[in-house]
Chain A
Amino acid sequence: MKHDVMITKWMVKIMNDLPTLCPSCRSRLSVKRLTCEKCRTEVEGAYALPPLARLSCGDQAFVVSFVKASGSLKEMARLLGFSYPTVRNRLDGLIERLAEAEEGDEKR
């Protein structure tokens, strides 16, 4: 239990969602500057965020786990301690959000 609480607190600390929409006008944000963590070199430009990066941290963690589980929902359900349909529903929700993101890209 203590370990679980620690994980939850730590998650809150490191799992800030990447802001993807402008807080002022709700338009999509893009990456302007990238920095090398070693030598501090900076690269500036206009880089659009890929659809996966626009997902919430929870969704991104789900995608990574899904790939690591070789795309097996049964294995995902076992790992996460949820039932198969619950995990399946989460994947369906994610597919919907990705489709919406792609639709938004096409409209732009």
Chain B
Amino acid sequence: MTTLAPEKRLATRGPTVVSLLFRPFDYIAGTQSLLIGIVSILTAGFLGSLSRTHFDGVLDMHTGLAARRALFLAAGIINWLSLSVVLFLMGKLVSRTAFRAVDLFGTQALARWPTVIAALAALAPPFQRLVARLNVQLSSAVPAGGFSVATGDLVFGGLVGLAAALCLVWMVWLMYHSYTVCCNIRGGKALGTFIAGLIIAEVISKVVLSRFLSA
């Protein structure tokens, strides 16, 4: 009787597109994810500086801020570190097994890659026109005729907003997946500690970023 090598018995057919999009950390973690993740964060920050879109909190995305490019770049790093440190401590508290910091920090960095798409979408000219027009109208006294924006720009703006919201939901899912895979936590314990960690990290990132802005 012929027998298969054990590693061939265990090997799968390779990741599908769906699993790479929604369960990427089954296949990638550690230094590789850390490097790609940091590049993604900085790319999102750079694109954000062009479209004046800033990620001013772990879960926040706002547009229209005029600031130095360094702030756009730093915001992504602060958001990433806030959540990674909190989840690392949560994992140490509740996980029954040992895990590597580089896996959690790396996959949390990579989990932020949908922000690149969101920042890219915000670069679209109709959306930029809409934001510029709204900024001008909101900064001055309300005109007698009310606000006026082109319908096409308004529809496009709505689509960009929807795309950005979907990207943020996808990002949160990736953050959760990273936490469960890297810390080996499942079920209610994983969900509860992740939500708590997300809230704590959101507060921390907001405080740090507001200090950064006022500096």
Partner-B contacts on A (CB < 8 A) = 1, 4-5, 7-8, 10-11, 14-15, 57-58, 60-62, 64-65, 68, 79-86, 88-89, 92
Q: Are B97 and A92 within 8 A (Cβ)?
A: yes
Give 30 A-B contacts (CB < 8 Å), ordered by A residue: A4-B13, A4-B14, A7-B4, A10-B4, A11-B4, A14-B4, A58-B9, A60-B6, A61-B10, A65-B7, A68-B6, A81-B14, A83-B26, A83-B28, A84-B30, A84-B103, A85-B29, A85-B100, A85-B107, A86-B25, A86-B26, A86-B27, A86-B29, A86-B181, A88-B97, A88-B99, A89-B97, A89-B181, A92-B97, A92-B184
Q: Are B11 and A64 within 8 A (Cβ)?
A: no
Is B38 interfacial (CB-CB < 8 Å)? no
Within the assembled complex, what's the spacing in Å between the Cα atoms of A88 and B184?
A: 9
Contact with A along B55-91 (1 / 0, CB 8 A): 0000000000000000000000000000000000000
The residues in B between 1 and 47 inclusive whose CB is less than 8 angstroms from any CB of A are 1, 3-4, 6-15, 25-30, 33
The 8 A-B residue pairs whose C-beta atoms are closest, nearest first, are: A83-B29, A61-B6, A64-B6, A61-B9, A65-B6, A4-B13, A65-B7, A79-B7
B98, chain A: closest CB distance, angstroms: 8
Q: Are A85 and B6 within 8 A (Cβ)?
A: no
The answer to whether A80 and B10 touch (CB under 8 A), given A86-B181, A88-B97, A89-B181, is yes
A60, chain B: closest CB distance, angstroms: 8
A92: B residues at CB distance < 8 A: 97, 184
Is B204 interfacial (CB-CB < 8 Å)? no
Within the assembled complex, what's the spacing in Å between the Cα atoms of A10 and B30?
A: 33
Is B182 interfacial (CB-CB < 8 Å)? yes
Within the assembled complex, what's the spacing in Å between the Cα atoms of A62 and B11?
A: 10
B99: A residues at CB distance < 8 A: 85, 88
Known: A58-B10, A80-B7, A80-B12. 17 other contacts (CB 8 A): A11-B4, A57-B9, A61-B10, A62-B10, A68-B6, A79-B11, A83-B27, A83-B30, A83-B33, A83-B103, A84-B29, A85-B99, A85-B100, A85-B103, A86-B25, A86-B181, A89-B184
B181, chain A: closest CB distance, angstroms: 5
Q: Are B26 and A82 within 8 A (Cβ)?
A: yes
B107: A residues at CB distance < 8 A: 85
Q: Which residue of A lies closest to B15 (CB)?
A: A81
B8: A residues at CB distance < 8 A: 7
Q: Which residue of B lies closest to A86 (CB)?
A: B26
B7: A residues at CB distance < 8 A: 61, 65, 68, 79-80
Q: Which residue of A lies closest to B182 (CB)?
A: A85
Question: Quick one: which of B8, B9, B29 has the most chain A CB within 10 A?
Answer: B9
Question: Quick one: which of B3, B10, B27 has the most chain A CB within 10 A?
Answer: B10
